[in-house]
Chain A
Amino acid sequence: QSALTQPRSVSGSPGQSVTISCTGTSSDVGGYNYVSWYQQHPGKAPKLMIYDVSKRPSGVPDRFSGSKSGNTASLTISGLQAEDEADYYCCSYAGSYTSPGVFGTGTKVTVL
């Protein structure tokens, strides 16, 4: 299973919206509604932000939203804030009972 493809970096000014794409194939992203997103600040553990494509865990601000179209999933951060600057990773189930999922390559979000 190959890593899902994400842009290396995206940036935006405070208050703006940014969208991170996560491109896979019909065998992973496109085949199942099991895409999750994780936020990771430098030197910290990943934190679950979105699961099952568009669901938000309790405590995650509603500025974070997820969606999917075909083989590409997206994470949108609306009303960008300074604390949103971090790395973001997508993850998708890939149809194998032997693995819970394959991660994306990661995207650095910079708040200008």
Chain B
Amino acid sequence: EVQLVESGGGLVKPGGSLRLSCAASGFTFSSYSMNWVRQAPGKGLEWVSSISSSSSYIYYADSVKGRFTISRDNAKNSLYLQMNSLRAEDTAVYYCASQHRYCTNGVCYPAYYFDYWGQGTLVTVSS
């Protein structure tokens, strides 16, 4: 059974930092691109960042570029999000989500959907 378990959320003051973690199990973590998706209270889903299976490709939403850093440790089956210079508008539940992949003739590439999600961790930025 695939499991994604986030941790590290909490209350932080504006300008502060927080590091989120996502522990993966039940699938070959090192073969899949991973993502962080957030949801502000009472709002919709917003893609935040993605990282390819080997960390070669990393992308961010404009809203967090320069402040957030995504990383992964395939040996530990773990995904991370380092969040610096936090703002009130970063308050949200942060989900880690795996990105499916297509494989043809031994070549694999990321699909454009998120097949498994963690339960989320709440980040509150407030003074």
Contact = CB atoms under 8 A, between A and B. Distances in A.
A34 B45 contact: no
B30 to A, nearest CB: 19
Interface of A is mostly: loop
Interface residues of A, number: 27
A89 B95 CA distance: 15
A45 interface: yes
B44 A105 contact: yes
Contact of A100 (B44, B47, B95, B120): B47
A52 B113 contact: yes
Given A48-B114, A91-B113, A99 B120 contact: no
A98 B116 CA distance: 20
A105 B114 CA distance: 17
B35 interface: yes
A48 B119 contact: no
Contact of A48 (B46, B50, B115, B118): B115
A93 B112 contact: yes
Interface string A56-74: 0100000000000000000
Contacts of B99: 100
Contacts of B59: 97-99
A36 B112 contact: yes
Nearest 3 pairs of A and B residues by beta carbon? A36-B113, A34-B112, A93-B112
17 contacts: A32-B112, A34-B111, A34-B113, A36-B113, A36-B114, A38-B45, A38-B114, A45-B117, A48-B116, A91-B114, A93-B112, A97-B59, A99-B47, A100-B33, A100-B99, A100-B110, A106-B45
